[in-house]
Amino acid sequence: MVDQERLLSACLGLNRDRGFESRPLRQFSPPRRSFDPRLVYSGLFHYPLSKGAITIRHRNALRFVCCVWAYLLAAAPAPGQDEESLQELQKLLKTRISTAAKYEQLAGDAPASVAIVGSEEIRRYGFRTLDEVLRIVPGFAASYDRNYAYLGVRGFGRPTDYNDRVLLLLNGNALNEGMYGSAAIGTDLGLDLGAVERIEIVRGPASALYGTGAMFCVINIVSKKGSDLNGFRMSAEVGSFGRTGMSAAFGKKLADGTDILLAAQFSDVKGRDLYFKEFDDPETDGGWARGLDWDVNFGLNARLVRGGLTFQAMAASRGKGIPTAPWDTVFDDPRAKTLDVRSVLELRYDLDLGAAWMVGLRSYYNHCLYEGYYSYGYLNRDETTAEKLGGEIQLRWDPSSEHRLFAGVEYQNHLRADYRNWDPQTVNFDGNFPYRIWSLYLQDQIKIRSNLSLTLGLRRDEYSTAGSSTTPRLALVYHPWADGTFKLLYGEAFRAPNPYEVHYELPSEGYKSNPGLRPEKIRSFEAIWEQKLGRPLLGFVNVYRYILSGLIDQAPDPADGLLQFRNLGKVRAAGVELGLTSRWASGVWAQASYAFQSAEDAATGAKLTNALTHVFKAGLSCPVFKLGFVSIQLLAESERLTVARTATKPFRLADLAFVSGDRLEPFRISVRIRNIFNETYALPGGFEHRMPAIVQDPRNYSVKLEYLF
């Protein structure tokens, strides 16, 4: 038996340390107006630091790792449990996903690099938002500028890009809005993760199936079925920084076979007072932004399935205070805030026409509204409205058991792509730029041998305003033996310039439009090896290389000196990802991963801003006295380069969570402590901020009580 109490005490007894040894920051003089567009291109790339490795010099971090391994060794299954542990791992391996090919298949057979985070993993670690989930995915890095959450993938993470190079789906329906191409991954998503069955993450280019924006990854959130809940669930939550929240969900499968899921959540965070040394002046309250870090969000989603018919709806709203005074606005003004409102409707019908044919039809409507309130003494207003109506027809044909053809036609009508900026005296910009997209795609999957398959894909996208793009994909999946999988992948993707980049102009302030802007394009090569290492352990190695060309950035036109978005940069990157996952019959789950990433300017070899080189992640979840599960996460990142040419300090974070088990039902208790070492750290911000790096949250907690009936 494992002495769980003693091992758990060792983990919980970690004292706060000083973090990782940091390198000195380069001194700089912050610009008065941090968004100087002439610096954007030159600041995107900068010189690589001499070394990027993380050095762990504190006993607490080493003690944590030792505790993890001690628990794993002590909890190793006895001979009688060995087969049960194998079955636990097989459940993970047999998970069927639909994101990689738009139809269900085993993750090991998918022609892509796939990661899956299931509902039980979400529950055990106490995740509340999507960006918290993505932090544990190998090769991913999240950041937060006290307004929006951002995602970096495989060394590429542009500050303030609003996640426009990743594609976010809800049950296969794209959620990216149509003005900036942005994807919400923080509290602005407004989704109750307690109603999520799994999150499928497909790394690498995927435009051959999904079109624009699917450059670095596709993230598909798959909702639970109503039968999974089979009743009603309510919860209430309290926590640090004045956090209060509640959620409710209902799920049921009716007698006629109709499956219904309804879920809603609300959260109100008062936030904390924040100090920024860049504003340390008696006229600005000594650099303190008080009462401005608040966050109020609401979300509702519904799903109804009956036979081949599926209907889903989603609505979300978030208001967020802005404590950082971006865009050279007045510091500590309580009027500074943003509002994001999103809604989605989708109707889908899948029809099986015999054993070899399937037809899928779907139609959808998406609406997104953004409002920004910025103070310059007077109140400046920023507003966008994006409205999209579309439809898709899919056809799947299996001419034989070794051959599958999948084709589709999609039409999108962006009814509104409206941007408006004004203040009490002047309308600075007001324009609506609707556009349409026709798309045709084809994918052919052939089993060359019983253990070898080839996937070929091609998609053509025709834009009414931005020209056209053709994107191919190729994948070879080989199972040399039952416990191993080798994948060789090639893919291309693109990001069409969004309406703001093409049309924004304000000559009086030195900005002009660029109707000739071309899409960004990426080419990627990847090799993947997945191997079962004994009955309870699965390992993987991913090696990749990509080249991104035509990077869109803002720079002066040599002809007149006016600023415009232009195709300027070219990025070259390579990296390796290593990981281990274990699932044991005793209920112990563990995983660890390391990623090395090198992303640079292809012309100069300069390191990209906000790109980190080394990332280590580990997690351990184990049962405690049959009362529930204790889960610990560890995240260690190397330094990142800021747009102000400084380096952030490498850091180590650890989170602790406890969730109750079946013994306390119908009640469930969830307790989570984030940043248990109380590490002080900051992450790069964009050019709109005077501070080069934005301070992140110290140790904080949340307690959630659920009632099931």
Global pTM reads: 0.89
What is the helix (H) or strand (E) element at residue 70, kind and residue range? helix 59-74
- Confidence at 93, pLDDT banded by 50, 70, 90: low
Question: What's the confidence (pLDDT) of residue 82?
Answer: 56
Residue 51, pLDDT > 70, answer: no
Compute the distance between CA of residue 592 and CA of residue 582 in angstroms, rounded to an integer: 9
Please state, in angstroms and as integers, the Cα–Cα distance from residue 320 to each residue in 128, 168, 301, 323, following that order: 17, 21, 21, 10
Higher pLDDT: 600 or 21? It is 600
- Asked if the model's pLDDT at residue 432 lies above 80, the reply is yes
* CB-count exposure of residue 24 (10 Å: 0-12, 13-18, 19+): exposed
| DSSP per position, 557-618 | -TTT--EEEEEEEEEEEEEEEEEEEEE-TTS-EEEEEEEEEEEEETTT-PEETT--SEEEEE
State the Cα–Cα distance between residues 108 and 196, nearest whole angstrom.
22
Q: How confident is the model at residue 318 (pLDDT cuts 50, 70, 90)?
A: very high
| Tens-digit pLDDT profile for residues 277-304 | 999 999 889 999 999 999 999 999 999 9
State yes or no: pLDDT of 687 exceeds 60. yes
| pLDDT for the residue numbered 43 | 35
Q: Indicate the Cα dihedral angle 171, 299, 384, 436, nearest 10°.
A: 20
Q: Give the three-state DSSP class for 547.
A: strand
- pLDDT > 60? residue 20: no
Which of 32-46, 91-105, 467-481 has the lowest average pLDDT?
32-46
Would you call 497 helix, strand, or coil by DSSP? coil
> Mean of the pLDDT values across residues 270-282?
94
The pLDDT value recorded for residue 481 is 87
Query: What's the per-residue H, E or C state across 217-276?
Result: EEEEEEECCHHHHCEEEEEEEEEHHHEEEEEEEEEEECCCCCEEEEEEEEEEECCCCEEC
State the pLDDT at residue 662.
Answer: 84
The DSSP line for 426-483 is -EEEEEE--EEEEEEEEEEEEEEETTEEEEEEEEEEEESSS-EEEEEEEEEEEEEETT
CATH of 4-15+55-640, one of 2.120.10.30, 2.40.170.20, 3.55.40.20, 3.30.980.20: 2.40.170.20
d(CA 281, CA 330): 13
Residue type, 400: S
Confidence band, pLDDT 50/70/90 cuts, at residue 98: confident
List beta partners, residue 244. 238, 268
Rounded to the nearest 10 degrees, how much is the dihedral formed by the CA atoms of 103, 104, 107, 108?
A: -90
pLDDT given for residue 62 in this prediction: 46
Give the CA angle between residues 98, 442, 218 to the nearest 5°: 40
pLDDT of residue 95: 81
pLDDT in tens, 81-91: 555 555 666 66
Q: Between the ranges 10-14, 62-66, 83-87, 251-255, where is the mean pLDDT highest? A: 251-255
pLDDT per residue over 538-568, tens digit each?
899 999 999 999 999 888 888 888 899 999 8
> Rounded mean pLDDT of 656-681?
93
Q: pLDDT tens-digit profile of 224-233?
A: 999 999 999 9
Residue 64: pLDDT over 90: no
pLDDT for position 468 = 86
User: Taking 70 as the threshold, does the pLDDT of residue 201 lie above it?
Assistant: yes
Confidence bin at 10 (pLDDT 50/70/90): very low
Model confidence band, residue 419 (pLDDT cutoffs 50, 70, 90): very high
Q: What's the pLDDT score for residue 31?
A: 32
Mean of the pLDDT values across residues 639-652? Answer: 93
Q: What's the chain's average pLDDT?
A: 87
Mean pLDDT over 10-21 rounds to 33
Q: Taking Cα atoms as reference points, which of 217, 229, 129 lies closest to residue 168?
A: 217
SS3 letters across 84-130: HHHHHHHHHHCCEECCCCCCCEEHHHCCCEEEEEEHHHHHHHCCCCH
Q: Average pLDDT for residues 129-139, to the nearest whole number?
A: 94
213 pLDDT exceeds 90? yes
pLDDT at 184 over 90: yes
pLDDT of residue 89: 63
Strand, helix or coil for residue 150 = strand
Is it the case that residue 11 has pLDDT exceeding 70?
no
Question: 241 pLDDT exceeds 90?
Answer: yes
Pair 512, 500: CB distance under 8 Å = no
**pLDDT(41) > 70:** no
